[in-house]
Amino acid sequence: MGFTDTRFNVNLSILFTELPLLERPAAARAAGFTAVELWWPWVCAPVPEPAELDALREALDDAGVRLVGLNFYAGQLPGPDRGALSIPGEESDRFRANVPVAVRFGASLGCTAFNALYGNRVEGVDPAAQDALALENLAFAARAVGEVDGTLLIEALNAPESPTCPLVSAPKAIETVDAVNAATGLDNARFLMDLYHLSMNGEDLDAVIDAYTAKTAHVQIADNPGRGAPGTGTLDFPALLDRLKKNGYDGWIGLEYKPGNAPSASSFAWLPAPLRAAAS
């Protein structure tokens, strides 16, 4: 089992970044992939010019790749911003302005999975007030996603790299998923299980998979240490993916790893070419 019959997609915000954004979909297709995901590509523009959205839509369509996941605006990633939900004022407003734009853009390409990063603590601001704002904004996003029958994804980051993010464990992310669903009554918030972040937190991945697969709607992978391709670190991905399947997960596995110093296309040797293209 392991990699067999698994649906893999490529994150074009961390792979193929040696190319301009509009060239990445075709590069992913040339490498054999039929599905991609993206962090919000315009790090300074929650609401980019329509022509920029149209150009990216055309690049994805022309390449023949499906968009299966899209992050809401979260500033510069990876980097110090790490999200905007718990930041009062301007960043919260930017997030809210982005939500309908991202939902319309994603839905126009058949995407129904939207990832909302929680955000970092702001020094000098009451944490309870930040969490209340985060829940309010997440509920806002969940309702917008619900209009296209989509899923709001919530993930845990890792404490070593994101020490001021409140969501740095699977249980905390699940707690937030449950809170959003209770707030909206829509039951369309789900866990994004990023095995790299969870392993960096020192969590028992087998236990996380057993406990939370039922609430998981997307999985992302990178090896640890180093956030490289499977096989560059110590994580046993065939066993982990097999465990996910046995627990009932049949969704996408997003490749969200760093390709190293070589071109991104050379980082897929671990994955046989016939397994890169998957039916939806």
Residue 273 lies in a domain: no
pLDDT at 1 over 50: no
Mean pLDDT of 141-154: 98
13-40 per-position pLDDT tens digit = 999 999 999 999 999 999 999 999 999 9
Q: Which is catalytic among the residues 37, 91, 203, 256?
A: 256
The pLDDT-based confidence of 81 (bands split at 50, 70, 90) is: low
Question: Any catalytic annotation for residue 256?
Answer: yes
Q: Which is catalytic among the residues 37, 155, 161, 175?
A: 155
**Distance from C-alpha of 253 to C-alpha of 40, rounded to nearest angstrom:** 19
Predicted local confidence at residue 123, as pLDDT: 84
pLDDT at 89 over 90: no
Predicted local confidence at residue 34, as pLDDT: 96
Residue 277 lies in a domain: no
- Reduced to 3 states (helix: H, G, I; strand: E, B; else coil), residue 70 is strand
Could you tell me which residue, 239 or 120, shows the higher pLDDT? Answer: 239
Predicted local confidence at residue 247, as pLDDT: 97
Closest to 138 (Cα-Cα) out of 80, 169, 193, 181 = 181
Domain count, the chain: 1
Residue 224 lies in a domain: yes
pLDDT at 137 over 70: yes
Domain range for 113 is: 7-268
Residue 210 lies in a domain: yes
Residue 274 lies in a domain: no
The CATH number for 183's domain is: 3.20.20.150
pLDDT at 84 over 70: no
Predicted local confidence at residue 125, as pLDDT: 86
pLDDT at 77 over 70: no
Residue 110 lies in a domain: yes
CB 25 within 8 A of CB 62: yes
Mean pLDDT of 212-226: 98
Question: Any catalytic annotation for residue 155?
Answer: yes
Express as a percent the part of the chain with pLDDT over 90: 82
Angle of CA points 208, 212, 214, to nearest 5°? 150
Residue 216 lies in a domain: yes
Predicted local confidence at residue 82, as pLDDT: 53
Residue 161 lies in a domain: yes
92-117 per-position pLDDT tens digit = 899 999 999 999 999 999 999 999 99
**Distance from C-alpha of 179 to C-alpha of 40, rounded to nearest angstrom:** 24
Predicted local confidence at residue 79, as pLDDT: 62
Predicted local confidence at residue 153, as pLDDT: 98
